[in-house]
């Protein structure tokens, strides 16, 4: 079975990218896969909040690896038992919240091979099926390098003109590099989400496939700092839609 590296990205913030990453990674683990999530939003990391991993629990962070203070396996936190996942495994690599380290990282330059090596090391040492990068929004260099080093990207977007036009630009840039991407329309107003041709229209507009259109739910937004929504509310429509997307990705292996 081939192993996959996925970048979850967005043109701008506020699209539910990190919430999607945490819930989708958890869904894949529940399907029996070994999944590693990496918080690559180096300037504003947030995955640790959703996974309820305190900075004190992180023996090493991705920052330490980038500064060659440790090996990548020393950054890995196994969340499987903590989250009560019965089948697969879920691993997490967090980023530092120290202001001085964030400022220093913003001055660094990286290359595409660095992120490919991170994914390869995790796949080899932990037999990972899916490596998922949660990237920083926009078109900054380190984010684009992570996207380019992945097998494909999932771009989360909201239904407003700025996001649609920005996502179109992002898709065109990725196409120039020959990279495959899929759209996840997220936080869709309920009345729009019920419109059957929505995914088809966005796919036609952007020229790439749409994985799904997930409605906006107040309860999902409110739950963000309390844990992984899908684990506590597995029968909620949001959770069922994320699980359907996870099953689609699983079928591609």
- Give the model confidence (pLDDT) of 178-210 as tens digits: 999 999 999 998 878 766 688 999 999 999 999
Alpha-carbon span 55 to 119, nearest angstrom:
23
Within a domain: 51: yes
Within a domain: 93: yes
Tens digit of each residue's pLDDT (9 = 90 or more) over 122-133:
999 999 999 999
Mean of pLDDT over the chain? 89
Alpha-carbon span 186 to 199, nearest angstrom:
11
The residues near 156 (Cβ < 8 Å, ≥ 6 apart) are: 8, 9, 10, 15, 16, 17, 20, 184, 186
Within a domain: 108: yes
What mean pLDDT comes out for the span 21-27? 98
Within a domain: 166: no
Please state, in angstroms and as integers, the Cα–Cα distance from residue 165 to each residue in 11, 168, 246, following that order: 9, 5, 27
Alpha-carbon span 232 to 220, nearest angstrom:
11
Q: What percent of the chain has pLDDT over 90?
A: 65
Range of the domain at 128: 4-156+219-247
What mean pLDDT comes out for the span 9-16? 92
Hey, is 145 helix, strand or coil? Answer: helix
What mean pLDDT comes out for the span 68-94? 95
Predicted confidence at residue 99, as pLDDT, reads 44
Within a domain: 203: no
Within a domain: 182: no
Q: Tell whether the model's pLDDT for residue 106 goes beyond 50.
A: no
Alpha helices in 141-232 (DSSP H): 141-149, 161-176, 190-193, 198-206, 218-223, 229-232
What mean pLDDT comes out for the span 20-27? 97
Q: What percent of the chain has pLDDT over 70?
A: 91
Domain CATH number, residue 131? 3.40.50.300
What mean pLDDT comes out for the span 35-39? 95
Q: Tell whether the model's pLDDT for residue 42 goes beyond 90.
A: no
Alpha-carbon span 114 to 44, nearest angstrom:
20
Within a domain: 120: yes
Please state, in angstroms and as integers, the Cα–Cα distance from residue 105 to each residue in 99, 115, 125, 210, 242, following that order: 10, 15, 26, 33, 32
Domains of the chain: total: 1
Q: Is the dihedral of CA 159, 164, 170, 172 positive or negative?
A: positive
Within a domain: 138: yes
DSSP 96: -
């Amino acid at each position: 079975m081939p192993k996959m590296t996925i970048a979850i990205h967005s043109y701008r913030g506020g699209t539910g990218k990190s919430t999607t990453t945490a819930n989708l990674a958890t869904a894949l683990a529940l399907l029996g896969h070994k999944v590693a999530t990496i918080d690559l939003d180096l300037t504003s990391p947030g995955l640790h909040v959703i996974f309820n991993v305190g900075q004190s629990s992180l023996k090493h962070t991705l920052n330490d690896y980038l500064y060659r203070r440790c090996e990548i396996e020393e950054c890995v936190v196994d969340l499987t038992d903590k989250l009560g996942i019965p089948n697969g495994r879920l691993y997490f690599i967090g980023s530092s919240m120290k202001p001085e380290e964030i400022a220093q990282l913003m001055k660094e330059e990286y290359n595409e091979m660095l992120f490919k090596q991170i994914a390869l090391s995790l796949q080899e040492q932990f037999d990972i099926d899916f490596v998922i990068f949660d990237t920083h929004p926009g078109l900054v260099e380190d984010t684009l390098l992570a996207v380019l080093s992945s097998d494909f990207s999932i771009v989360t977007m909201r239904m407003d003109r700025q996001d649609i036009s920005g996502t179109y630009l992002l898709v065109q840039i990725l196409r120039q590099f020959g990279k495959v991407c899929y759209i996840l329309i997220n936080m869709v107003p309920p009345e729009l989400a019920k419109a059957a041709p929505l995914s088809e229209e966005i796919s036609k507009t952007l020229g790439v496939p749409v994985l799904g259109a997930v409605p906006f739910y107040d309860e999902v937004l409110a739950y963000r700092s309390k844990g992984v929504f899908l684990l506590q509310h597995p029968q909620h429509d949001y959770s069922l839609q994320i699980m359907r997307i996870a099953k689609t990705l699983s079928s591609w292996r």
